[in-house]
Structure 1
């Protein structure tokens, strides 16, 4: 049914639970996983405190370490379950676009991701990356709550 599943993570607790569910699902259906996290590119002019205090090289090294920390639980869970997994850092200011582009470029036929469950005005104002993926995806999206 599904051959390659994209499993994006932002390192949050909800995302971590979705990762475990995604690994279990991939094992069940015999699919391979593509794990990814998205972090912004370095900008010289920004309000992001991590970029303000860093050179580009320092920021890139720190952000790569942060991505590895986010992706390590996914890679470890996949290894423990015997599921083939590729993990990647995608640089983008728009996580939902990075998710959709990665799914397309890597030939994924399903996206599994967490929903942070924001409702009402906070959901509208803050915007939901999951909602944006749902609206724009041409492949199925399984939302883990």
Structure 2
């Protein structure tokens, strides 16, 4: 069975459901969890309001604080379930690629993640990190909806 689960989260309600389920799976199988939050690096020219108003130093500091808040949910669930865990923050513009690279680098044998369930034109325009992970990962991917 699985021994090391990568659990990426974006802090959404969908991710919260995935966290609860993945922690339960890890507890039942004796697996370790690595929680992951991917933060886009600072860009001088951007569409994101939080980057337009900040300096690079401010953005890095505030995004790190926000990432730690998001990962706190994994920490709390894993501690409550008695599941060994660690967390990591990665800076990347390509979220799906960062997820796959982290899973490989940390020798995970499963990626467990949420899907927001976007369909139709909205899904096509916004793209799907989950779909890209499913398409490009050589590791098994468990998707929670």
Give the TM-score of the pair, scaled to structure 2. Answer: 0.98
Any residues of structure 2 matched to 1:37-116 within 5 Å, and which? 37-116=37-116
Structure 1 residues not aligned, in runs of 5+:
none
Per-residue CA deviations over 1:39-69 (Å, capped at 9, x if unaligned) read 1011122221111111111100100011011
Match of 1:35, SS?
A: strand
Match of 1:25, SS?
A: helix
Per-residue CA deviations over 1:90-120 (Å, capped at 9, x if unaligned) read 1011110110010000000000000101111
Structure 2 residues not aligned, in runs of 5+:
none
Q: Deviation at 1:10?
A: 0.2
Aligned residues: 145
CA distance, structure 1, for counterparts of residue 29 and residue 21 of structure 2: 12
CA distance, structure 2, for counterparts of residue 126 and residue 55 of structure 1: 27
RMSD of the TM alignment (CA)?
0.7
Match of 2:125 in 1: 125
Any residues of structure 2 matched to 1:30-41 within 5 Å, and which? 30-41=30-41
Give the TM-score of the pair, scaled to structure 1. Answer: 0.98
Match of 1:21 in 2: 21
